[in-house]
Amino acid sequence: MEKLLFNFIVGIWLWLGICSLALAELAGRESQNSQNLPFAVNNEEIAKAPLFALIKTTQGYFEIRFFKEDAPVHVLNFQYLAKQGFYDNLMFYRYFPGYLIQGGDPNNNGTGGTGYIIEPEFSSLKHKRGIVAMSRIRGSKNPGRESNGSQFYIALGNAPQLDGLYSIFAEVVNGLDVVEKLRVGDKILEIKLSQ
């Protein structure tokens, strides 16, 4: 009887320990998710946000048009970082021919970001050639599919397998030939926003 009681107490103790760890991780995750973004998100900011960005790279220029209605927080985030010069001189660090080119990582290897994450903004937009979307937080501990704060990719072909899994926030409207020349090591030199 004593052994049964002992096992019961140990079981309860272990269960409470596991629950407290899970709650602590959840609280940390909530804190990270609800961490204040360094820019304002409201209807006024979204309405006055620029519609285009001209991106100068080591291969030339290309222009993107933002989807302000479909992914307003992602658009404001990208524009905030561009205004700060965050993307200047960052490399494209991942390239898959005919699939995508990826950049926006201050570590230039897929491990970096801004220190905050963005809740997903999924829409009916499809991954087609020229679509610009945010990368997700790496690892298996991202069931909510939150976006990395700065890393983005450009689709180099149709990729329906990515639809509904990543937040699409823009598309290339000019200079897709330049985008298709980009390779690992090419850099973003400057981003200029415009209406």
Per the model's pLDDT, the better-predicted residue between 132 and 17 turns out to be 132
**Among 112, 100, 78, 40, which residue's Cα sits nearest to residue 191?**
78
Q: 17 with 102, same domain?
A: no
**Least-confidence region, from 21-35, 75-89, 119-133:** 21-35
pTM: 0.81
Neighbours of 173 (CB within 10 A): 12
Q: 22 with 94, same domain?
A: no
CB 149 within 8 A of CB 135: no
pLDDT band (50, 70, 90) for residue 10? very low
pLDDT > 70? residue 45: yes
- Over residues 54-77, the mean pLDDT reads 98
How is 16-61 classified by DSSP, letter by letter? HHHHHHHHHHHHHHHHHHTSPPSS--SHHHHHHS-SEEEEEETTEE
Q: 105 with 177, same domain?
A: yes
Q: 104 with 21, same domain?
A: no
What is the average pLDDT score of the chain? 85
90: containing domain:
43-194
Q: 28 with 91, same domain?
A: no
At 140 the pLDDT is 54
Q: 83 with 145, same domain?
A: yes
